[in-house]
Amino acid sequence: MKQRFITSIFIVLAVALAIGAKFLPLNLGDYVFDVFILCLTYVASFEMCNLLEKTNKPLNKILAVFYSVFNYGVLLIFLNFVPYQNLIFVQLLMLVLYFIIAVFTETISKKENPIKSSFNTLLACFYPAFLFTMFLFINHIDKFAGINHLSVILILLVIAITFLTDTCAYLVGRTIKGPKLAPKISPQKTISGSIGGLLGGDGGAMLVFALVKNVPNLSIMLTQFSISWWHFLLVGLFGSILGQMGDLLESLIKRKAGVKDSGNIFPGHGGMLDRIDAMIFVVTFVSIFAVILIA
């Protein structure tokens, strides 16, 4: 328990420093945060490759692990001359290109089944790398929206929804218990805990709304984009649902791989993928919300 607590403190400090770096001058903080996300994605991708290999799915681990760097390069290249709303489609096209590269690489390497291996590689590129690097997408939204620190608000929204969903689900489920949510996938999760998680996700979103509303330099965003409290409430609700689905998905993958944790990089907490499994889907949903926001 002590080791778990110490690791939790380390995680919180690392995240706080990465967000705090966003306030560095000359947009340096944006690139510091980019590097932070790329490091998380690299480790999570490596763990995902290991899980797939344990389920006897051949893949090109090198291509899968370095996809996040490729995706970031694409984002930086197109960031200045492609409309913000089209950046996701550009990245999807590049994902297809990456699949073609994988097929070519596996073919010349004379793999037994290059198409199957390439599809497994694509899967590892898409989850977690493509989805989680949506953080990079919202990290550079400020200049498109014309509002300083909008990216910080969106990042805080993702973290608040994920953290409070997870925390409230754990506390409510442990206290009330009751019927299991998905006993064959994750025996510890209960329906009561899931409902508690939904309330926690909404609570996290409303805390961010209160912050925006009470900071003059940020409250202009609410007027400019005609955003009300119920928009945040809906984002918190659906974000929490998707986050819990992401948690269950990773539990299913680990069960098929026959392991308890995706890795051991965080003593007492497991692997990187264990820490960001819910956040992967929350940040994807918030990114879509951001596109709609500035459309």
- Tens-place pLDDT, residues 10-22: 999 999 999 999 9
| pLDDT at residue 4 greater than cutoff 80 | no
- Please give the mean pLDDT across all residues of the chain: 91
- Of 286, 119, 93, the C-alpha closest to 208 is 286
CB 227 within 8 A of CB 257: no
> How far apart (Å, rounded) are the C-alpha atoms in residues 120 and 50?
12
pLDDT band at 270 (very low <50, low <70, confident <90, very high): confident
CB 106 within 8 A of CB 122: no
- Sole residue written with tokens 């947009």: 27
pTM here is 0.94
More confident residue, 231 or 110: 231
> How far apart (Å, rounded) are the C-alpha atoms in residues 47 and 8?
20
Share of the chain above pLDDT 70, in %: 99
> How far apart (Å, rounded) are the C-alpha atoms in residues 253 and 257?
6
Give the model confidence (pLDDT) of 156-209 as tens digits. 999 999 999 999 999 999 999 889 998 888 888 999 999 999 999 999 999 999
pLDDT number for residue 221: 82
CB 254 within 8 A of CB 270: no
Q: Which residues pair with 186 in a beta bridge?
A: 182
> How far apart (Å, rounded) are the C-alpha atoms in residues 295 and 289?
10
Other C-beta atoms lying within 10 Å of the C-beta of residue 104: 12
pLDDT number for residue 1: 61
pLDDT number for residue 205: 97
